[in-house]
Structure 1
Amino acid sequence: MLWHTFFAAVAVAWIQQAASTPGVDQWITALVSSNSSLLSWPTHFTQDIVPKQIHSHNDYWREVPLLTALSLGVQSVEADVWFINGTLFVGHEEAALTPNRTFESLYLQPIMQILDMMNPRNNFTSNATSANGPFDTASTTPLQLLVDMKTDGNATLPPVLQALQPLRSAGYLTTFMNGTVQSSAVTVIGTGNTPLEGITALQPRDVFFDAPLASLNSSNFDHTISPIASTDWGSVVGWSGIGNPTDAQRNMIQTLINDAHTRGIQARFWDTPGWPVRARENVWTELLNDGADWLNADDLVAASRF
C-alpha cells in the first residue's frame, strides 16, 4: 500500500508538470528533464538491445572488452587466459600480457556487477527461481563465456574454477547436476588447452567443454559436456567465400552441423574469412542457411548489422 501511494503521488506530480505544455513532444521534453524515477528501472542497462548468436572472437582485443559486445547484442565472448605466477592474465600471446589486464578485471568483475544489476534484490524478486542474463529484452538468454586456456590445462583449470566462485555462489552459472543441465545467466565453456578429463570429472559441472566439431562421430560428446562444438573453417571446409561453395564443401558444412544437432550441441566455425567483405558475408549467409548456430566474428558491428 505504501509503494502504491508513493508511485501514485509521483505520477500525479509528473503529469501535472507535463500538462502545462501543449503537445506530446513538449510533454516528453518536460518529463525527461524532470528526472522522474518513473523513467528508469533496475534492469535498463541493456534496454532495447536485441541479443544475437554472434561470438566475439578474441573479445579482449576490443577497445572496451565485453561491454562493446553486449552493446551490440553479442551473446558470446572469448578470453585467452594465461596462468602465470598465481594470476590469470588475458591476452593473445605472452608479449601482449600486462599486469592489470586479468581475467578478473576484464571479465569476472564486470560480469558480476552487470548480473547484480539485472537481478535486483527487492520485494518484487523475493520469489525468483532463476537468474536473469545480461539482456533486458531476453532475460532468459545467457552470456556464453569461452575461456581459451593458453597455459597447461591441468594447471589452469583449478584457478579458473576458483575465480568463478562469486558467480557460482550467486547462482549465475549454468550447471549440470543430477542428470540435468540448469541454464543460468552465464554459460562458461573451456577451449584451447582445457583438459576434457578435468571437465568431465566436475560434479556438479559448471564449466563445459568446446567439443571438436569435425570429429564428433568418434566421440561420446553430448550437450551435458559440450553445449557447443567448434572447428577451423579453413582446414575443414576451405571455401574462401568467393563464388559458390562446391557441393562437397556445402555437404561438409551441413553434415557437421547435423552431427552436432543430433547430440543437442550447437555448431561454430572459427577463422571464417574476414575480407573481402563480400566473401565474409557470403560465408555468413551460407552458415545461416545451413543451420549453424553461431557467427564467429571479429567485426562485431558488421555482424550485428548483418
Structure 2
Amino acid sequence: MRPTTTSGLLLLLNLPLFSLAKATIDQVVLSLENANPGALQYPTQFTQDIVPKFIHSHNDYWRDVPLLTALSMGVMSVEADVNLFNGTLFIGHENAALTPNRTFDSLYIQPLLRILDAQNPSTAFTVNQTTPNGVFDMASDTPLQLLVELKTDGVETLPFVLEALEPLRSKGYLTTFANGTLTQSAITVVGTGNTPLEQVKELSPRDFFFDAPLMQLNDPSLNTTWDPTLSPLASTDYEVAVGWVGIGNISEAQLANITKFVGDAHSRGIKARFWDIPGWPIVARTNVWTVLMNNGADWLNADDLEAASSF
C-alpha cells in the first residue's frame, strides 16, 4: 500500500483538490482549519499534554489563579483552607485574608464542576461509560486530591463542607466508600486541620475522608483502624518527624524515621505526605525533596509549584 500523502489526507477531510496546488504546510493547515474545524478540535483538550505529577499544592489559594495554576503544571493535589462565617465557607489562612468573593464554592466547587463537565461530554460515544473522567486528559482515571483544611470549629464546619460538595456528589464526581466498597472517581476529598475524626468515621456513605496522623498510625489510644476507606492520605510535620534541614548528611536515625513512617502508611495502602519542608536555601529544599522521594514519600509538598513540577 502506498503511504498516505498530503493530498490523500486532504481528500479524507473533504477538502477540494484545487487547494493542493503547490500548497505550503501553512496553507494546508489553514485550509484544514477553515474547512473542517470540528475534525481538528480535540473535545477534552482542557488538560491536553499536561503530565500529572504527585505534587501537593500547599495553600493553593495563594496562587495567582487558585486550582487552575496548579492544574496547568500537572499538580494532582490542592489544598483549600475553609473558614465558616454566617453559614458561608470562605477561603483563607487567617481572618485578615478573607474576602466576600473568595469562597469555597467560587474558587473550587464551581471551577471543578465546569472542568469535569467538559471532560465528560454526554454523547453517543459515552453512553455506556460508568466511571467519570478526571481532570487530566493524559490520565483520565487519576483522581484529583482536594485537601480541605477546616480552620474553624470542625464539628460545626463539617456539615457545611459536606453540603458544599453536593454539586460534585450529585454528578458522581466524588470518590465514595459505601456498602463496604471504595469507588474511586474524579475527585478524592480529604479533610485535615480541625476535621473531626469521629464525625468522618460516622459518614455513610463516605465521600469526605480523613488525613491520618502519619506518626501515629500504630497508636492504640486513637482507637482507629487506618485504611484507605477512611484515610487515603496520612501526613505529618517534617520538622517534627525528621528534622534534617537538607544541609550536610542526613543521620541514620532521621532516615530511619522517614522509612518507618512511610512503611507504616504503605502497609495499610495509605499514601504518605510530609509538610513544613524547608523552603530555603534552595539546595537544602532540593536535597530534602530528593531524600523523601527516594525513600517512598508519595506526595511532594510544595509552595513553589514551578520548581516542584520541574524537579
Normalised by the length of structure 1, the TM-score is 0.93
Give SS of 2:125's match.
coil
Q: Is the 8 A contact 1:57 1:298 kept in 2?
A: yes
Determine if contact 2:13/2:36 at 8 Å carries over to the other structure. no
Q: Does 1:233 align with 2:233?
A: no
Give the 3 Å change call, closer, same or farther, for CA 275–26 of structure 1 in structure 2: farther
Q: Do the aligned residues in 2 keep the contact of 1:18 with 1:31 (CA within 8 Å)?
A: no
- The whole-number CA distance in structure 2 between the counterparts of 1:15 and 1:243 is 69
Of 216-225 and 102-111, deviating more is 216-225
Structure-2 change in CA distance of 1:24 and 1:169 (3 Å): same
Q: Which segment drifts farther, 31-40 or 8-17?
A: 8-17
The SS at the match of 1:123 is coil
Structure 2 residue runs without a partner (length 5+):
1-8
Deviations 1:44-90 (A, max 9, x none): 11000010000000000001000000000000000000010110000
Among candidates 294, 297, 308, match of residue 289 of structure 1? 294
Percent identity, aligned pairs only, is 63
What residue is the counterpart of 2:215 in the other structure?
214
The aligned counterpart of 2:307 is 302
Distance 1:177 1:28, change over 3 A: same
2-structure distance, mates of 1:293, 1:227: 11
1:87 matched to which residue of 2? 88
Query: 1:226 and 1:38, CA in 2 relative to 1: closer, same or farther beyond 3 A?
Result: same
Q: What is the one-letter code of the residue matched to 1:248?
A: A
Residue 223 of structure 1, aligned match among 228, 250, 258: 228
Asked whether the equivalents of residues 144 and 189 of structure 1 are also in contact (C-alpha less than 8 Å), the reply is yes
CA separation of 1:110 and 1:29: change in aligned 2, threshold 3 A: same
1:177-232 per-residue CA deviation (whole Å, 9 max, x = no partner) reads 11111000000000000000111100000000000001111142111100000000
Alpha-carbon distance in 2 for matches of 1:114, 1:292: 29
Contact 1:14 1:36 in 2 (8 A): no
Q: Compared with structure 1, are the counterparts of its residues 25 and 94 closer, same or farther at alpha carbon in structure 2 (3 Å cutoff)?
A: same
**Residue of structure 2 equivalent to 1:166:** 167
Deviations 1:88-134 (A, max 9, x none): 00001000000000000000000000000000011110100101100
- Secondary structure at the counterpart of residue 210 of structure 1: strand
After TM superposition, the structure 1 = structure 2 runs for residues 1-306 of structure 1, keeping only pairs within 5 Å, are 11-14=12-15, 16=17, 19-24=20-25, 26-32=27-33, 36-218=37-219, 219-306=224-311
Cα deviation, residue 26, structure 1: 4.5
Q: 1:29 to 1:93 in 2, by over 3 A?
A: same
- Structure 2 residue identity aligned to 1:230: S
Distance 2:53 2:17 in 1: 41
Partner amino acid for 1:188? V
Cα deviation, 1:14-40, whole Å, max 9, x if unaligned, reads 475863454445433543466711111
Q: Which amino acid aligns with 1:217?
A: N
Q: TM-score, normalised by structure 2?
A: 0.92
Name the CA distance, whole Å, in 1 between partners of 2:297 and 2:168: 29
